[in-house]
Amino acid sequence: MIKLESIYKNYNIGEHNESEVLKNISFLVKENDFTILRGPSGSGKSTILSIIGGLIKPTKGEVFVDGKSIAKLPDKFASLVRQEKIGFIFQKFNLIHELNTIDNITIPLLPGKLSRLEIEKRAEEILDDLSILNKKNVLVKKLSGGEQQRVAIARALINRPKIILADEPTANLDKKLSLSFIQIIKELKQKGITILLASHDPLFSELKCVDNFIDIQHGEIK
């Protein structure tokens, strides 16, 4: 489902402050796998997720998502891959605080062809699954941290992605909310979704449902 081949990523290329953040990263995530990228802050976990999601391009190497090479894909097509196959969950949720829950969730589908009614129906189903349907018209800035994260998860699921990329999803949550998040992730795995999660939270190391752990340190796989 996700395949990385000798990925390198350098920033500020050719400048005095050039830095190599990823070195020769290669791994494979099979369909419906739950994979954890582990490593300390600054080790390059988020950069790997950004490359897989097509948000940034690697300096060198190949990335395949669902069989399609995306490393050199023009921005327009990378967006399409994200729209069709990937759902992102960010560490800081990255919600638009002045919009309400349902408006935040439906954002990924607005440029598409689904009608407003269909989009809202789909959003309500997801909100119901995540037990926050009663918050659908509440501004997200008025929601608790846990609720905001559920909104972020709902937004990641609205386009029915095959892959979920989650970047430090429990970094801003307490243990109870983190466990609740893990429960949601388990359910997503049961539904056949491939999950790649970057975290240095020890909670994930104890999980039995995790298929693979990939340890990253200083931009390299250990």
Partner 1 sequence: MNFKLVDFTLKSLKRNMTKKLSVIFIFTVLVFLLVSVFSISSSIKKELLISVDSLPELIVQKMSGGRQTLIPVERAFEIASIPGVNNAYDRVWGYYFFENVNVNFTILGLDFDLETYKKKYDNIIEMNSDIIDTSNTPFMIAGKGVVEIFNSYYNPNYFDFIKGNGKRMRTNIAGSFSDESALETNDVILMPIQNVRELFDIEEHLATDIVVRVPNPEEIDVVKQKIQFMYPDCRLVSRQDIEASYQNVFDYKSGLFLSLLIAAFVAFFILIYDKTSGLSLEDKREIGILKAVGWQVENILQIKFIEGAIISLFSFSFGTGLALFYVYTLQAPLLRNLFTGASYLKPEFDLLPIVDLQVLSLIFILTVPIYIMATIIPSWRAAIIDADEVMH
Task: List residues near partner 1 by CB under 8 A.
Answer: 47, 50, 53, 55-57, 75-76, 79-80, 82-84, 86, 88, 90, 94-96, 98-99, 103, 107-108, 110-111, 116, 119, 155, 159
Least CB distance from residue 107 to partner 1, whole Å? 6
| CA–CA dist 190, 86 (Å, integer) | 17
Query: Which runs of consecutive H residues, i.e. helices, occur in the chain?
Result: 45-52, 75-85, 101-106, 116-129, 145-157, 175-190, 202-205
Contact yes or no for 26/221 (Cβ under 8 A): yes
Nearer to partner 1, 158 or 182 (CB): 158
Nearer to partner 1, 7 or 210 (CB): 7
Contact yes or no for 188/160 (Cβ under 8 A): no
Nearer to partner 1, 98 or 187 (CB): 98
Nearer to partner 1, 164 or 182 (CB): 164
Nearer to partner 1, 182 or 196 (CB): 196
Least CB distance from residue 2 to partner 1, whole Å? 17
Least CB distance from residue 136 to partner 1, whole Å? 15
Q: How many residues does the chain have?
A: 222
Least CB distance from residue 42 to partner 1, whole Å? 13
